[in-house]
Amino acid sequence: MNLGKAKTILIIAFLGLNLFLGYHLYWPYLGQLTKTVVTAAELQQALAYLAANNYNLDADIGRYVQKSTFLTVTPAQQGPEGIRDLFNQATSSTSENGLTVYRDPDRVMTVHPGGQIQVEFQPGLFVVEQSHTLEERELSRLVQQQLKENFFLPEQLRFDYIEKVRTNDHRLILHFYRDIGGMPLFACYTKVFLEEDYITALEIYWLDPLEQPREGEMEVIPATDALIKLVDELGPGLLPRTITKVDLGYFSREYNAEMWEVPPVWRILMEDYSVYYINAFTGNLEADL
């Protein structure tokens, strides 16, 4: 056998060996890149299950493998960085129940002991005429612009949705959440109250992430499983109910604590603005404990 032939045989043998070793080492990871967790048939089954229980899905849902982990947060006692500076000239008073109130001629900020903040504007910040007729995105852009120019807007804030107050067509609540590396932290929110084209009040609950999501990411349950779990928990709807948003993010209830870990959840928003959080690891409806 000549040397050239021997080399060719060895190349083929080692190539085969390397493919074999590579398959064993990396196939689970490569497989995940292409794996679809929710097949078209599974999605149809889930939709049929929802429909049978009087629920209608009117939202896009991700169908690919997603991984997540816990996020450690601490409550910002004085709200998002910088907001307190806006009240440097204000008179402040602290009541017996721990509420601290900062008063300026045109705005009042109330800081609750747990870290929740309420800001009331007097008479309000004008946004735009006929605000309730605008598209959601456009209105949220104008509101953010107004807050940035005339009050305060944290950079990490992202628009979530607009809630129309049933009793008053000209009253809207714009919901924002804090973005953490591309994932919504629903537990850290800002609500903007809009009335007759004016921003009248804000509600802020601000959390700061202490650490990047801890190691050991785990696969989360598919959105379809979360929807089925929710329907199982709520039971069949007496009247048809429409699901308008299904998003993966972080959520936990508010604790009067130093820090806590927040789990990933599937946040499910209904047409009537009721919100449910399904733990994306366990599939359990997140409850107050």
Partner 1 sequence: MSERAKSILLASLVLLSLFLTYQLWFVQKPLEVLTEDSYEPNYFEEARSLTGIVTPCRVVLLWGGTFYQFRYGQKAFTTLWNAVSGLLQRIPAPELSRMEDAPFTDPPVLALSFQPPLPSGQGSVWLKNDVQRELKEVMLITNGEHWRLKFNTTAGETFEGPISDIEALQIQKTLESLDLSEAIPQRELNSEELSAALGLNIEVAAPIYVPDRPVHLEELVFKEEELDRELLVRTFFVDRSLVRVVTERDGSLIYTDGEKGLRLGSGLTYSHPQLEQSPATYTYLAALNSASRLLGYYGGWAEHLRLESLLLQRKTGQLSEHYLACWQSYYQGKPIMGDIVIKMTFNDSGMVEYQRRLYEVAYSTGNTYAVPGYLEALLAALDLLREENTDYRETTQPLILEEMMLGYALKQETLRALPVWLIRINGLNLEIDASGVESPKGVSP
Dist CA 250 CA 3 (whole Å): 62
Q: Which listed residue (105, 123, 182, 216) binds partner 1 by CB under 8 A?
A: 216
Q: Could you tell me the two tokens for 184?
A: 């919504």
For residue 254, state whether it binds partner 1 (rule: CB under 8 A).
no
DSSP 195-239: ETTEEEEEEEE-EEE-SSS-S--EEPPPHHHHHHHHHHHH-S-SS
Q: Of 26 and 126, which CB lies nearer to partner 1 in the complex structure?
A: 26
Backbone torsions φ then ψ of 201, nearest 5 degrees: -160, 160
Q: What is the DSSP letter of 286?
A: P
Min CB(281)–partner 1 separation in Å? 5
Binders of partner 1 in range 81-110 (CB under 8 A): none
Min CB(116)–partner 1 separation in Å? 16
Min CB(176)–partner 1 separation in Å? 24
DSSP 76-105: -TT-STTTGGGGTTSEEEE-TTS-EEEE-S
Q: Of 20 and 64, which CB lies nearer to partner 1 in the complex structure?
A: 20
H helix or E strand, kind and range, residue 150: helix 136-150
For residue 3, state whether it binds partner 1 (rule: CB under 8 A).
yes
For residue 29, state whether it binds partner 1 (rule: CB under 8 A).
no
Q: Could you tell me the two tokens for 123?
A: 């008479």
For residue 7, state whether it binds partner 1 (rule: CB under 8 A).
yes
Q: Which listed residue (50, 57, 61, 70) binds partner 1 by CB under 8 A?
A: 70
Residues that bind partner 1 (CB under 8 A): 3-4, 7-8, 10-11, 14-15, 17-18, 21-22, 24-25, 70, 216, 218, 252, 255-263, 279, 281-282, 284-287, 289
